[in-house]
A = this chain, B = another copy of it.
């Protein structure tokens, strides 16, 4: 028999802003009545639950912490109640769970157990920045982080630029916020002048900034203030 329960993948906010801006009503209602969560960070999960409001008192909600010590056996124990019915929420530190975060492992275990997985709509800085970049979204790749070593980084950016040209593919990367300025400089130095570069900062918040220019034009512009602010970098080689 098919398991009766559901693992709900619930997006959380990207920064300080009201849920009505980034979470559909039905997702908010569902999230507010679940009493068991799996979260990368219990503290941010509680802050999310406080923000959306919960039907049960917050202290009665179980939060399993998904750190890197958690193995598949533990995940199976967490998900076991779903074999009989019931519902559990999975949340990330920011944005959509199981995209560029360890939540994918929990989802994989759920699939192996035959449990239904329900993804909810919510904010993804990768997707929002791609939409807003004006770069060709017909093909794109998200690479996570570039190498930190300057020479290796320059080499990697050039390789991605060659692929971008070859496949008409938008390249998307992130950086640890305190290294954003260094990344911006590295992109300006490594890429061709005709490559279009989009900087998307602090999405969905009052501090949101999204600008796309050619690398040649960026060199004549004042650099945006990216210090310690979550930023996505996207580029597409000219043709």
Binding site for B on A (CB under 8 A): 9, 18-27, 96-101, 104-111, 116-119, 121-124, 126-144, 169, 196, 203-204, 208, 210-213
What's the least CB distance linking A159 to chain B, in Å? 11
Task: Please pick, from B100, B117, B211, the residue contacting A138 in the complex, using a CB distance under 8 A.
Answer: B100
Which B-chain residue is minimally distant from A7 (CB atoms)? B132
Chain B residues positioned under 8 Å from A208 (CB to CB): 118
Are the CB atoms of B122 and A107 closer together than 8 Å?
no
What's the least CB distance linking A108 to chain B, in Å? 4
Chain B residues positioned under 8 Å from A132 (CB to CB): 9, 98, 107, 117-119
Task: Please pick, from B123, B134, B140, B213, the residue contacting A117 in the complex, using a CB distance under 8 A.
Answer: B134
CA distance A26 to B110 in the complex (A): 33
Chain B residues positioned under 8 Å from A26 (CB to CB): 18, 20-21
Are the CB atoms of A139 and B134 closer together than 8 Å?
no
Are the CB atoms of A136 and B96 closer together than 8 Å?
no
Which B-chain residue is minimally distant from A23 (CB atoms)? B24
CA distance A212 to B108 in the complex (A): 8
Given A99-B131, A140-B141 in contact, is the A210-B119 Cβ separation under 8 Å? yes
A selection of 20 A-B contacts at a CB cut-off of 8 Å is A9-B131, A19-B24, A20-B26, A22-B121, A99-B127, A99-B131, A99-B137, A104-B133, A104-B136, A104-B137, A107-B133, A108-B196, A108-B212, A109-B134, A111-B212, A119-B131, A124-B124, A127-B127, A139-B142, A140-B142
Are the CB atoms of B9 and A20 closer together than 8 Å?
no
Are the CB atoms of B210 and A21 closer together than 8 Å?
no
User: In this complex, which of A97, A108, A116 has the most chain B Cβ atoms within 10 angstroms of its Cβ?
Assistant: A108
User: In this complex, which of A18, A23, A107, A109 has the most chain B Cβ atoms within 10 angstroms of its Cβ?
Assistant: A107
What's the least CB distance linking A92 to chain B, in Å? 9
Given A137-B98, A144-B139 in contact, is the A117-B210 Cβ separation under 8 Å? yes
